[in-house]
C-alpha cells in the first residue's frame, strides 16, 4: 500500500537536465504516470533505435523481462548513444534462473524485442507510488545560472528577451501545484553555459 503525504507528496522521480539550450518542459507522462505503468527505471546510453511502446525488454545480466509503457527522453535524442531518461514499465518477470533474481541492476543492458534498441539501466527498478498529477517540484541549480518560468511564457537567455526568473548555481526553488508544474520550463541563462538542473517530483 502506498502512503502519500497530504501536503507536498512523496518523491517518485528525480533526475537532472543538462544542455538546456532551448526552453524545456517536463514530459506529460512523468507528470502524471499512465495507469498501466507499475514500475520505472532510469537509463543511459540508448542506442540503435528508440524503444517501442508495448514491446518487451530483456535484461542482459539476469534475463528478466518487462513491457515498455513509455520511454521518456531527458537528455540527448531517442536512440542516440547519449540519450538518458526514464522507462515506465509493466509486467515485470524475473525468471528463476536469473543471476540477479529479483531486479534489473545498474549497468545491465536492456534490449527491445521488437525495435532491437538498447538502453543501460542506471539503477534498480522502482515501484510507481502514485498515478495522480505531480503536486510539488523541487529544483536545484548545480552549474551555471538558469532562467525558468511557470507562467506559460517561455524563459529566454538573458542576452535575448530575458524572460523568466533566475536561479544561480547552488540555489534551489520549490514549486507547488500541478498546473504550475505543467507550465514549468527552464533554459540556460547564458546560451551554451552548460547549466545543470537537478529535480525531484513529489506526488
Same domain, 87 and 144: no
What is the arrangement of strands in the sheet containing 165-167, beginning at the earlier edge strand?
24-25, 185-188, 146-149, 165-167
- The DSSP annotation for 76-88 comes to S-TTSTT-EEEEE
Q: Which of 127, 146, 168 is the last residue of a domain?
A: 127
pTM given for the model:
0.88
The low-confidence residues of the chain, meaning pLDDT below 70, are 1-7, 79-80, 94-102
Question: Could you tell me if residue 116 is inside a domain?
Answer: yes
pLDDT in tens, 51-71: 999 999 999 887 789 999 999
Question: Could you tell me if residue 83 is inside a domain?
Answer: yes
CATH code, domain carrying 135:
2.60.120
Cβ(130)–Cβ(109) below 8 Å: no
Element (H, E) at 180: helix 178-183
Question: Strand pairing partners for 121?
Answer: 43
pLDDT in tens, 70-94: 999 998 877 667 789 999 999 998 6
pLDDT of residue 48: 79
Question: Strand pairing partners for 182?
Answer: none
108-114-120 Cα angle (round to 5): 15
Same domain, 83 and 115: yes
Same domain, 55 and 84: yes
Same domain, 118 and 57: yes
pLDDT of residue 64: 86
For the chain, how many structural domains are there in total? 2
pLDDT of residue 137: 97
Domain span at residue 176 reads: 11-32+130-202
pLDDT of residue 77: 77
pLDDT of residue 199: 98
179-130-70 Cα angle (round to 5): 85
Question: Could you tell me if residue 188 is inside a domain?
Answer: yes
Amino acid at each position: 500500500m502506498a502512503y502519500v503525504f497530504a501536503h507536498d507528496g512523496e518523491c517518485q522521480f528525480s533526475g537532472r537536465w543538462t544542455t538546456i539550450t532551448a526552453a524545456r518542459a517536463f514530459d506529460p507522462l512523468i507528470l502524471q504516470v499512465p495507469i498501466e505503468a507499475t514500475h520505472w527505471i532510469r537509463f543511459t546510453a540508448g542506442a540503435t533505435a528508440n524503444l517501442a511502446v508495448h514491446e518487451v525488454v530483456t535484461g542482459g545480466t539476469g534475463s528478466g523481462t518487462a513491457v515498455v509503457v513509455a520511454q521518456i527522453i531527458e537528455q540527448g535524442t531517442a536512440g542516440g548513444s547519449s540519450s538518458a531518461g526514464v522507462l515506465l514499465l509493466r509486467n515485470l518477470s524475473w525468471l528463476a534462473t536469473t543471476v540477479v533474481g529479483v531486479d534489473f541492476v545498474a549497468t545491465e543492458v536492456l534490449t527491445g524485442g521488437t525495435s532491437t534498441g538498447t538502453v543501460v539501466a542506471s539503477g534498480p527498478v522502482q515501484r510507481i507510488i502514485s498515478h495522480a498529477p505531480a503536486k510539488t517540484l523541487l529544483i536545484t541549480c548545480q552549474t551555471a545560472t538558469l532562467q525558468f518560468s511557470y507562467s506559460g511564457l517561455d524563459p529566454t537567455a538573458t542576452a535575448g528577451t530575458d524572460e523568466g526568473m533566475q536561479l544561480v548555481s547552488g540555489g534551489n526553488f520549490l514549486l507547488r501545484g500541478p498546473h504550475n508544474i505543467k507550465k514549468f520550463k527552464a533554459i540556460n541563462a547564458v546560451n551554451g553555459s552548460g547549466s545543470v538542473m537537478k529535480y525531484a517530483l513529489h506526488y
